[in-house]
Structure 1
């Protein structure tokens, strides 16, 4: 079960009538570009930056790619990528939360790690291709309303999930979930 469904079950047990619905999500009629949020709070939830850079470079050959992130270091990285990859725009640190949500609602698709931007895309009714490394969507954290068909992960690793929240070190020591991940899987989804 997804986490939102588990929460709803708690309120139902308390006697409240709870019906989960996505009918009230704002949906922009003008959709253009791809959002890319390459960061997450923990290493186990994030592709190596070299792979994310290459993914952005390949996608920008055919699409406008908008980078999402936060914090000084992420903003510096994304601004550097913007200067190196034509047809990209870093929005990191430039928008208020309201403006960021509006931009996400206007995207054709968001690409996000198992992180907040996946959930923001869900709130705005924007399709999200989500990347799962150390974590697994079966732990219940797939964005509400997002399709399991848009989950991209290394499926044949018996060690996954190493952690429900992605905050553990790789007990094998090789980070296979990150290193064996191929960006072509994401491109195929797009």
Structure 2
């Protein structure tokens, strides 16, 4: 039996986007044992995943390096045929290089790539030559599969759908207003201005982590819309995806909830402030749309990941987005 390990221990959205590899590997090699290594905190995304034999978790917060070497021993014991590293960082490069696998695959920009049996060029996406992250992921397995790119997918369980069934009694939209990066986050005042114009018959659910409760409270306290409910900290990641699947529209920043929506092919309105879709991390749903300023700003984009504050102090990439751009994506 073919034994394969896929490594992606970066953030939530990265772990979701790499699931396209899992989909394709299962389709091409249905009898293979496929394992996935993720960082602690992301394991909830893969509860009940039908194609995974084992989910391996690296705790980076407590005893990071000690846990890394324990993982290495575990990986070597498993005797994988292929180890596929979706990252460019030294720690996972070391795991890959010394995994003992028959084939070790990773990007050429990884510091340990000289020790990989297969090195794949990591191509940065640009506006002139766009390349989505799912295409970069497929580059890692193209040589033993083919050129077809598989989209990411998550598998909310029956229990996840049951948890959110009661929220679907009337037409609704979801908004996910938070982001780790300030300049990726559509401002609270702009969310409020938008919600004030959403028809009262449409329920609004605010999605987010426990740490996003204060932001949700600010939005609810500021809007005149009569039916806005915060679910921040109330739903797990798969439950959020299960709710988003049946929304009229999901309004998200350039952040993890956008990839949740892509993973269940949910309608998506992706709001880009300081970043741009050309970086290669855009929405992938059939019903996806991009919302960004219509003004030509010489300061945008100001970075790949965003900043803790607008470098220019004005944040015009967010404040010049019009409410009509969001409202125009509501089904009539």
- TM-score after normalising by structure 1: 0.83
The answer to whether structure 1 residue 59 and structure 2 residue 198 are counterparts is: yes
Q: 1:75 maps to which residue?
A: 213
The answer to whether structure 1 residue 4 and structure 2 residue 143 are counterparts is: no
Question: For residues 77-123 of structure 1, what are the alpha-carbon distances to aligned partners after superposition, in whole Å with 9 as ceiling and x for unaligned?
Answer: 32454466411221111112332221111212100011111110111
Question: For residues 44-91 of structure 1, what are the alpha-carbon distances to aligned partners after superposition, in whole Å with 9 as ceiling and x for unaligned?
Answer: 11122111122123225341111111133x213324544664112211
SS of corresponding position for 2:299: coil
Contact 2:171 2:201 in 1 (8 A): no
Q: 2:298 maps to which residue?
A: 158
Contact 1:32 1:106 in 2 (8 A): no
The answer to whether structure 1 residue 170 and structure 2 residue 310 are counterparts is: yes
- TM-score after normalising by structure 2: 0.50
The answer to whether structure 1 residue 16 and structure 2 residue 155 are counterparts is: no
Structure of higher RCO (CA pairs closer than 8 Å, 6+ residues apart): 1
Contact 1:105 1:126 in 2 (8 A): yes
Which structure's residues are more often strand, by fraction? 2
Superposition RMSD on alpha carbons, in Å? 2.8
**What are structure 2's unaligned runs of at least 5 residues?**
1-130, 162-167
Contact 1:2 1:144 in 2 (8 A): no
Q: Which moved more, 1:122-131 or 1:100-109?
A: 100-109
Question: For residues 116-172 of structure 1, what are the alpha-carbon distances to aligned partners after superposition, in whole Å with 9 as ceiling and x for unaligned?
Answer: 111101111111001000000011010233566x11111322322111111365343
Q: Give, in whole Å, the separation in 2 of the partners of 1:93 and 1:146.
A: 28
Alignment size in residue pairs: 186
1:99 aligned to which of 225, 230, 239: 239
SS of corresponding position for 2:305: coil
Q: Give, in whole Å, the separation in 2 of the partners of 1:129 and 1:165.
A: 19
| Higher Rg of the two aligned structures | 2
Contact 1:75 1:92 in 2 (8 A): yes
SS of corresponding position for 2:307: coil
**What are structure 1's unaligned runs of at least 5 residues?**
none
